[in-house]
Amino acid sequence: MRVSASSSGGKRSPLPFPRLAVFLLGTAIFALAPVSATRADQADEGWPMHGRTPLEERFSPLSQIDRNTVHDLGLAWSYMTGSDRGLEATPLVIEGILYATASWSVVFALDAKTGQEIWRFDPEVPRWKARHACCGVVNRGVAFAKGRVYVGTIDGRLIALDAKTGTPVWSTRTTEIGLPYTITGAPRIVKNLVIIGNGGAEFGVRGYFSAYDIDDGKLVWRFYTVPGSKEGPHEHPELVAAARTWPRDSLWEAGLGGTVWDSMAYDPELDLLYVGTGNSSVYDREKRSPGGGDNLYLASILALRPETGELVWYYQTTPGEEWDYTATQHMILADLDWNGSTRKVLLQAPKNGFFYVLDRVTGELLGAKNFVHTSWASRVDLTTGRPVKRPEAHWSKKDAMVSPAPPGAHNWHPMSFHPGLGLVYIPTTESVYSYLSSSDFRFRPGLWNTGEDFPRLHEELEDFGAIRYLPCGLTRLVAWDPIRQEKAWEVLHRTGVPGGTLATGGNLVFQGIGEGLFAAFDAANGQRLWTSRVGIDIMAPPVTYQIDGEQYIAVLAGVGGSHGNHQTRFEHDNAGRVLAWKLGGKATMPPVRRRPIRKVARPPLDVPPETIRRGREVYAEVCFTCHGMGLEGSGVYPDLRTASARTHDQWDAIVRGGIRTHKGMPSFADVVSAEDARAIQAYVLDRAWHEPGILERMLGVVVDHACIPVSWMTD
């Protein structure tokens, strides 16, 4: 553990902010009150929790910055996070202090008026854990209560820090470190509990989330999202019902998935905690759950009593999930006029492409319409509450091209809700993907275990003439009307970066839009009103707050991990930063360094073609989930084709010896033999000399032709 306090200490604004309890009360009341577009009271000035309120609308009533003033926005300050991997955190702003996280679960506190660092805490996560992170060593932020900041770390700890100093108060282990669990989500505080889940379903884990005592970190309850066996004994009664939806010969050793890696919301009035659960492990349904079954509680929304973890209702978005269609996406609690009466609803736009409106008191499905092209299901039947699946989308026995792709129609990038306009602003992606079942699958603990035939997929991808995968897709900002269940407006972005969104009382929507840009849109009609050239891409959701009468917009910039494939990274570095703007801001945008163009450092190895083929096969099985299809690097991992002479000299020591573990490249000696390591090297050099990367070619298509038309996709 390491804590450092800035030498300068940082000037704090002497703000007479109310304490957290008042924040909670104030924001909860606000959520039920009409929007005041003129003057925000004090409780509205901060960003005290992940979605700003427990209802997670990600709407702030602050209105100093509006369509008339937004052109005067200038940078107020910047802070370099010292990281070059993906940044996904929502900053919290409490009593003038901004708390956020960078990659490797590092936490920092800044003066929210100046950007001056107050403290920084590095939990010193063992770097080998990068092997267990499907989508980068990212972190989506902290929770705050009782003068403490709470963070989940990539190696599975939940840590409480003193908010003034960053010193640990308590730390508890929430997952077994040797198992491929990770924590990337932000904890949530409900009453006297800290709630945290975890991820890892791609590798084969059993999903659960836990509640810890806020004062000492002791476990209060744990809810498993899938059963551990058919017969039990089951840890809690909800699993008895779940076990009925799994065949006896299910692949229990794979853990079955259902991880809770991101979304939660809380309704203080109903006293219900809402949790979204993740995809299956393994994806391939016949391998996982032979003969079918709904497989509860995969891809579900759960409503629970926070004090006991008792399940009150559930809704499964994708019964028998087999396409990586998590329901871990952001949930918003709102009150809507629904056919003449006010309904308390829960809104979610999960990966599967349908926008769900649920009665959050009972779990009744009120509406579900697709917001992107969806080929796995034609519609959702409101009578049964179930999707009407297309038989040809099942891929266990026959290859299938399906929309959306595993990254989803909407991933973790938060959406936002403007209660006055009644619109939800969703970062969406159109995509399609080849699901190819592996004929010789066996569960391999700790490795990628989706049941897909990656060597065959990789081979298919190398034939770019038959382009069948669209990882960047068509990225849009969609304003969705949840009552009419249709798009109110949409904006098409040129590159595949779905940034999180923020809606404000100034009737603006803020979003990172790719190409190194950050923009403000008119929340009513989508007109782009203001653009800032940041230089690197933004995935994280912006927040807003007000100090000494000035409104700020703040966001973390830096890409990598899931959706880490961004055009700008080919040209620029990815030095992470926090940026804050205000009206009349005069600070200088931190520069972005151009990347030197690297040359291939070695001639191809003199090996027979079988060795290169073998290298491709092992690469597809072990390396490509991080290093990318076509070797171009996945986001921020190095482009192996331009590996240096030194890297080639040390190839075996890196791949098998683990000499770059400290950089997040652990040893793979347990799964890659010396001969195979050499074959991978031969494959890499062969590709380096003979082919540009798939992604580069694909981005060329996207940029040159303003994305591939939707009509190209299969139905």
**Cα–Cα distance between 525 and 532 in angstroms, integer?**
20
User: Considering beta carbons, is residue 324 or 515 the nearer one to Ca ion?
Assistant: 324
- Closest approach of Cβ 324 to Ca ion, in Å? 5
Task: Tell me the CA distances in angstroms from 255 to 94, 307, 323, one per residue in order.
Answer: 39, 26, 17
User: Considering beta carbons, is residue 324 or 639 the nearer one to Ca ion?
Assistant: 324
Considering only residues 626 to 655 of the shown chain, the ones binding Ca ion according to CB under 5 A are none
φ, ψ dihedrals at 143, nearest 5°:
-115, 160
132: closest CA among 204, 197, 186?
204
- Cβ(204)–Cβ(180) under 8 Å? yes
- Closest approach of Cβ 201 to Ca ion, in Å? 5
562 binds Ca ion (CB under 5 A): no
**Cα–Cα distance between 705 and 467 in angstroms, integer?**
15
Beta bridge mates, 551: 546
For residues 348 to 377, the per-residue mask of contacts with Ca ion, x marking binding by CB under 5 A and - elsewhere, is ------------------------------
User: Considering beta carbons, is residue 279 or 501 the nearer one to Ca ion?
Assistant: 279
- Closest approach of Cβ 396 to Ca ion, in Å? 18
**Cα–Cα distance between 660 and 452 in angstroms, integer?**
29
Question: Which range in 121-129, 145-153, 323-331, 340-348 contacts Ca ion by CB under 5 A?
Answer: 323-331
| Cβ density class 550-576: b for 16+ within 10 Å, e for less | ebbbbbbbbbbbbbbbbbbbbebbbbb
**Mapping DSSP to helix (H, G, I), strand (E, B) and coil, where does residue 710 land?**
helix
- Let me know if 324 is a catalytic residue: yes
Say which of 324, 453, 537, 676 is annotated catalytic: 324
Nearest 10 degrees: CA dihedral of 660, 663, 664, 665? -30
Beta-strand runs (E) in 166-309? 168-173, 188-190, 193-196, 208-213, 219-224, 256-257, 264-267, 272-276, 280-281, 300-305
State the pairing for strand pair 423-430/386-389: unpaired
User: Considering beta carbons, is residue 48 or 278 the nearer one to Ca ion?
Assistant: 278
- Closest approach of Cβ 453 to Ca ion, in Å? 18
C-alpha torsion sign, points 163, 166, 169, 172: positive
Task: Tell me the CA distances in angstroms from 217 to 104, 173, 174, 387, 713, one per residue in order.
Answer: 21, 9, 10, 40, 49
User: Considering beta carbons, is residue 437 or 449 the nearer one to Ca ion?
Assistant: 449
Beta bridge mates, 518: 512, 532
User: Considering beta carbons, is residue 324 or 676 the nearer one to Ca ion?
Assistant: 324
51 DSSP 8-state letter: T
**Cα–Cα distance between 684 and 615 in angstroms, integer?**
8
694: closest CA among 611, 610, 601, 616?
616
- Closest approach of Cβ 198 to Ca ion, in Å? 13
- Closest approach of Cβ 407 to Ca ion, in Å? 9
User: Considering beta carbons, is residue 306 or 408 the nearer one to Ca ion?
Assistant: 408
- Cβ(508)–Cβ(65) under 8 Å? yes
User: Considering beta carbons, is residue 406 or 638 the nearer one to Ca ion?
Assistant: 406
Token pair 């997952």 in the structure block, residue: 175
For Ca ion, which residue of 238, 294, 324, 515 counts as binding (CB under 5 A)? 324
**Cα–Cα distance between 17 and 11 in angstroms, integer?**
16
- Closest approach of Cβ 468 to Ca ion, in Å? 20
Considering only residues 260 to 299 of the shown chain, the ones binding Ca ion according to CB under 5 A are 279
**Cα–Cα distance between 95 and 47 in angstroms, integer?**
10
- Closest approach of Cβ 325 to Ca ion, in Å? 9
Considering only residues 402 to 461 of the shown chain, the ones binding Ca ion according to CB under 5 A are none
Number of residues that bind Ca ion (CB under 5 A): 2
Instruction: Record the tokens describing residue 546, joined without a space.
Output: 């007000």
Q: Which residues are catalytic?
A: 324
Residues that bind Ca ion (CB under 5 A): 279, 324
